[in-house]
Amino acid sequence: MTSPDMPQVVRRAQQGDTDAIANLYERYANVIYRYVSYRVSTTADAEDLTAEVFLKMVEGLPGYREQGTPFEAWLYRIASARIIDFRRRAQRRPLTILTDGLEDSKPLPEEQLQQRQEVDTLRRAISVLSDEQQAILVLRFIERKSHQQVADLIGKSVSAVKSIQHRALIQLAAQLGSEEKVRHYLRGSHD
């Protein structure tokens, strides 16, 4: 949700006001991180990509022009581009994950393994969807945005967003082998 003073904050940031830039970061860092984290496999990658998004934001602010869409939509486009670039780079190099020892505050190893397996299964299933389908599912079900908000952010009509979401959920259910569950979601809220 964009506040009425956001265009003023953006203009100040474009003029190099570090407080305004910090304000933009504080306002959008968590939502961009969540958006990225559901589309990449590790927390470290999500953190790095989120940092890249805000670096690109700062670099691109002088050329940013409001075009009737929320500032947040521009950040989501930057994030999507960063994710696509990341995936291209990842295809060219093998992935090796290094882990530190377990911390005392973490869940038991069995719980961690089960959670990791569930998240990995979901990520693999989501990864076969198109970038547009992934973006819509993350915005709708992770960010809890309405169909209208998603439509505004990605520049599509509400009916197009609903249609893409519907097809994505059916495809996701097929990937997860849970046709019955998708029917429950499709009967849910249609806001």
* CATH 3.20.20.70 corresponds to the domain 100-191: no
Domains of the chain, by residue range, sit at 1-98, 100-191
Task: Give the 3-state DSSP-derived string for 92-141, with helices as H, strands as E and coil as C.
Answer: HCCCCCCCCCCCCCCCCHHHHHHHHHHHHHHHHHHHCCCHHHHHHHHHHH
Over residues 141-156, the mean pLDDT reads 89
Report pLDDT for 2: 53
Give residue-wise pLDDT tens across range 61-108.
999 988 888 899 999 999 999 999 998 887 776 655 555 554 556 677
Backbone angles phi, psi at 184, to 5 degrees: -65, -45
What is the third-level CATH fold of 1-98? Rna Polymerase Sigma Factor; Chain: A (1.10.1740)
Give the chain's mean pLDDT.
83
Q: Rounded to an integer, what distance in angstroms lies between the CA atom of residue 150 and that of residue 167?
A: 16
Q: Rounded to an integer, what distance in angstroms lies between the CA atom of residue 153 and that of residue 68?
A: 10
138 has pLDDT over 60: yes
Residues 6+ apart with CB under 8 A from 115: 107
Q: Flag whether the pTM goes above 0.75.
A: no
Report pLDDT for 141: 84
